[in-house]
Amino acid sequence: MGKKLTVYERIETLLDKGSFTEVDKYVKHRCTDFGMENKRVAGDGVVCGYGKIDGRTVYVYAFDFSVLGGSLSAANSRKIAKMQDMALKCGAPIIGLNDSGGARIQEGVESLTGFAEIFRRNVMSSGVIPQISAIMGPCAGGSCYSPALTDFILMVEGESQMFITGPNVIRQTTNEECDKETLGGAKVHAMTSGVCSLVCRDDEECLMTIRELLGFIPSNNMEDAPVHPATDDVDRVCHELDNVVPANPNIPYNIKDIIEPICDQQYFFEIQPDFAKNIVVGFGRMAGRSVGFVANQPNYLAGAIDIDASDKAARFIQFCDSFNIPIVAIEDVPGFLPGIQQEHAGIIRHGAKIVYAFAEATVPKITLITRKAYGGAYIVMNSKQIGADINLAYPSAEIAVMGAKGAVSILYRKEEPENIPARIKEYEDKFANPYFAAELGYIDDIIQPADTRRAIIRALDCCRNKSVSNPPKKHGNMPM
């Protein structure tokens, strides 16, 4: 574990050298209750300002836990709100470095209204400017909700925790025993709750990861993401892909073995790698331009879509669409995960989120089917009718309502057992391939795996100037 940095060291590490300009560094709180008149410190426990990351302007606010536990006061909440307003007006990302014990108890409702002002601005900024939160220490109560309203949350292993009510309150109210780490540590939120986007080893890695993440996304929703020099051949043939998808449809494989080779420099920046592992999301570059990948993972639950995977994918799709980042869906999905627990917990409601997100997205949308594309899961994973622009498939693709054995058990339930193998082969010959769908125009081209990079780059290029407008409305009502 690396060194825990001071608030100014964090800002200096995050921003380009010498680019930070502090704002409101002389602000002090005005509280005189509980002896607070003797605890007035310039800045009041939050450092705010603006600077550059790779030459692009960003706004920053950072809590200083060494000043009154980094608690939020009416005074320092106004500082944060000022940064949020400036970032929104100027179309620049805002980054919060959170290390806060929550609302300042001595100020009562005044500190709570400060959180409300911040939350409202989080919502107004959503989809307009990127909002990134780093959790760099314990964050409780209201200090968790602002990060939860932002686009990405990074946590530091062993140092940061998030929880609405702490271990002591839980012990008093429910008699449950826990400590801060087991209640809301980085691993809990990365693997179980899905609150955390990325876990980092120490402060420095966390801050450098934010810099890298910003390189994939634009400064606001009116711009495109930064374009990098295309030093990787756009026509590069990926022969390693020829042997990734097993001939046996029941054998798993790692979908990242398809994503990574087709990205520039074979580099894929994964988001939420430890949560809902049956679906993979993240950023890559193709021909120097940012792309968002959404892919089923056959290595985990056979790639079936469950509640957590639905939430994870839908939110990432919405982010990409908000910020003009094309989406590439890579599909190998046997269906939605069956089970009483899934049904009772609302897989219908949650699964509908992917449909909603893909259908609503107006950015270029490309789909590649590598193997299984069954039933409703085929539909929701960016099918042609949902609104995909270009749909590609490998020769190994199977596009059908369900697998051959399941289909035959329904279609020929009264068939003599000795005839079942022939019926299965008959169904496989008709549907266990992409050609029937291609005949109907649902698949635009059937490609060889080695040509994947070239085919997707060409598809993205042909859609670059895509212009689609959804019907005018205040906003939709996504299933929650």
**Cβ count near 203 (within 10 Å):** 26
385 Cβ contact partners less than 8 Å away, ≥ 6 residues apart: 379, 442
Q: Is 241 helix (H, G, I), strand (E, B) or coil?
A: helix
C-alpha distances in Å from residue 249, one per residue of 245, 302, 419, 428: 8, 10, 22, 12
Report the SS3 class of residue 186: helix
Active-site hit among 190, 313, 377, 432: 377
Residue 89 half-sphere exposure toward CB, CA atoms < 13 A? 6
Q: Which of 69, 96, 141, 351 is catalytic?
A: 141
Task: Identify the residue whose tokens are 């009502």.
Answer: 477
Cα(188)–Cα(180) distance, integer angstroms: 11
Active-site annotation holds for 142: yes
The answer to whether the CB of 83 falls within 8 A of the CB of 94 is: yes
The residues that bridge with 337 in the sheet, in sequence order, are none
Six-digit token pair at 16?
């380009």
Contact 330, 298 (CB under 8 A): no
- For the chain, the distance separating the N- and C-terminal CA atoms, rounded to the nearest angstrom, is 38
Residue 376 annotated among the catalytic residues of the structure:
yes
- Give dist(CA 378, CA 399) in Å, integer: 7
* Structure-token match 């997707």, residue found: 456
Q: What does DSSP assign to residue 472?
A: P
For residue 456 the two structure tokens come to 């997707």
Tell me the H-state helices in 367-480: 375-380, 404-411, 420-431, 435-439, 452-462
Q: Report the C-alpha gap between 167 and 107 in whole angstroms.
A: 23
C-alpha to C-alpha distance for 477 and 97, rounded to whole angstroms: 32
Catalytic residue among 45, 96, 142, 282: 142
Residue partners of 110: CB distance under 8 A and separation at least 6: 31, 73, 74
Q: Which residues contact 426 (CB under 8 A, 6 or more apart)?
A: none
Active-site entry in 215, 376, 387, 406: 376
The catalytic site residues sit at 141-142, 376-377
